[in-house]
């Protein structure tokens, strides 16, 4: 019988994780699933719990939380996978604010619907990214994407907000227009091109969306072996809001200030100014002055997802 380890972040979604635990357990019991629940208690605890679950022989390790919890579980499974041939499948019950990883991976956001999917169990392999630099010189795995510049600052501001859900990101985006609008001069190295520009933001995506509503890579596929980049050049402060609206619709590619590129590797170096960087919402650096290196690892992790149906 398949054994499920549920790693639940009680603080996900401003406390939503703890509130929905009874609903999660009721949905799992409905299918008579063999499951066990662990509650996270501190940063990176989910990584430790995922490794322990793998060592204990669980077949499926489920991140019940937001994008941060999913990222920690990914890192736990990837670390375990480096030294073991057999490793658990990943599952997700999205109960956070943005749930961007789940969205891009074809996982429904409702508790009942995501538990229905767990019980059905369709699986596929997805690409995983790894970023090196900032506070992670040894590297950090990620599933959804890396934001450099404006969108990273939006995430930092949203994290401090008392608001929840998409509203927190929208308000943070409006605040960030006045906080972060001087684009740094950067070198960007991709598979086929190296260029130096003043860039407001550089989003390197495996999934499609960040911040709960910003479609940086509407056509991205998480199992095609390449990142989809959205690069926005420096624009007047008065035009940033218009660009934000386009990104929310996923229509920014037609804007003259936007470049879209596919690449398996990306290096971003600060020439003038600083690099605020996050990966799946995890802070890599708030004011980095060096470089970050990003690479894709094709079809590295098996996950329960509608993409397999």
pLDDT band at 156 (very low <50, low <70, confident <90, very high): confident
- List, for residues 114-126, the tens digit of each pLDDT value: 999 999 999 999 9
String of DSSP letters for 227-273: EEEEEEE---HHHHHHHHHHHHHT-GGGSTTEEEEEESEEEEEEEES
Instruction: Give the single-character DSSP code of 306.
Output: G
The two tokens of residue 287 are: 């004011």
- List, for residues 238-287, the tens digit of each pLDDT value: 999 999 999 999 999 999 999 999 999 999 999 998 899 999 999 999 88
Domains and their CATH numbers in the chain: 3-121 (3.40.50.10330), 132-298 (2.60.200.40)
Sign, CA torsion 77/79/80/85: positive
**H or E stretch including 21?**
helix 21-30
The pLDDT value recorded for residue 142 is: 98
Query: At residue 309, does pLDDT exceed 70?
Result: no
1 or 141, which is more confident?
A: 141
Query: At residue 164, does pLDDT exceed 80?
Result: no
Q: What is the mean pLDDT of residues 130-154?
A: 95
**H or E stretch including 54?**
helix 45-55
Report whether 106 contacts 134 (CB < 8 A): no
- List, for residues 32-86, the tens digit of each pLDDT value: 999 999 999 999 999 999 999 999 999 999 999 999 999 999 999 999 999 998 9
What's the CA gap between 220 and 68, in Å, rounded? 21
Beta-carbon contacts of residue 158 (< 8 Å; ≥ 6 apart): 97, 168, 169, 171, 172, 211
221 or 182, which is more confident?
A: 221
What's the CA gap between 75 and 72, in Å, rounded? 5
Strand spans (E) along the chain: 3-8, 34-39, 60-65, 89-94, 123-133, 136-142, 145-149, 185-189, 194-205, 227-233, 258-263, 265-272, 275-279, 282-288, 291-304
- Percent of the chain topping pLDDT 70: 100
The pLDDT value recorded for residue 163 is: 73
The pLDDT value recorded for residue 70 is: 98
The pLDDT value recorded for residue 52 is: 98
Which pTM value belongs to this model? 0.94
The two tokens of residue 186 are: 């950067």
pLDDT band at 229 (very low <50, low <70, confident <90, very high): very high
Choice among 52-61, 129-138, 171-180, 241-250 with the minimum mean pLDDT: 171-180
Phi-psi region of 293 (alpha: psi -120 to 50; beta: other; left: phi over 0): beta
270 or 158, which is more confident?
A: 270
């Amino acid at each position: 019988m398949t054994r499920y380890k549920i790693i639940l972040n009680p603080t996900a979604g401003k406390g939503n994780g703890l509130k929905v635990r009874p609903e999660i357990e009721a949905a799992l019991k409905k299918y008579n699933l063999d499951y066990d629940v662990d509650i996270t208690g501190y940063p990176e605890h989910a990584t430790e719990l995922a490794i322990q679950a793998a060592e204990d022989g669980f077949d499926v390790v489920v991140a019940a939380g937001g994008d941060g919890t999913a990222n920690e579980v990914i890192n736990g499974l990837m670390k375990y996978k480096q030294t073991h041939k057999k490793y658990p499948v990943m599952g997700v019950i999205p109960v956070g604010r943005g749930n961007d990883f789940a969205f891009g991976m074809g996982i429904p956001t409702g508790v009942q619907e995501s538990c229905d999917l767990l019980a059905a169990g369709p699986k596929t392999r997805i690409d995983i990214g790894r970023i090196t630099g900032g506070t992670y010189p040894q590297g950090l795995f990620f599933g959804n994407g890396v934001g450099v510049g404006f969108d990273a600052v939006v995430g930092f501001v949203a994290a401090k907000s008392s608001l929840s859900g998409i509203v927190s990101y929208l308000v943070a985006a409006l605040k960030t227009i006045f906080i972060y609008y001087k684009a740094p001069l950067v070198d960007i190295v991709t598979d086929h091109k190296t260029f130096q520009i003043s860039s407001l933001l550089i989003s390197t995506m495996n999934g499609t969306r960040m911040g709960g509503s910003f479609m940086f890579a509407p056509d991205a596929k998480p199992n095609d072996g390449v990142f989809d980049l959205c690069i926005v050049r420096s624009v007047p402060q008065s035009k940033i809001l218009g660009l934000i609206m386009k990104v929310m619709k996923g229509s920014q590619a037609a804007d003259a200030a936007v470049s879209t590129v596919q690449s398996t590797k990306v290096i971003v170096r600060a020439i003038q100014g600083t690099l605020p960087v996050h990966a799946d919402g995890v802070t890599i650096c708030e004011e980095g002055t060096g470089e970050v290196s990003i690479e894709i690892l094709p079809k590295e992790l098996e996950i329960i997802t509608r993409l397999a149906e």
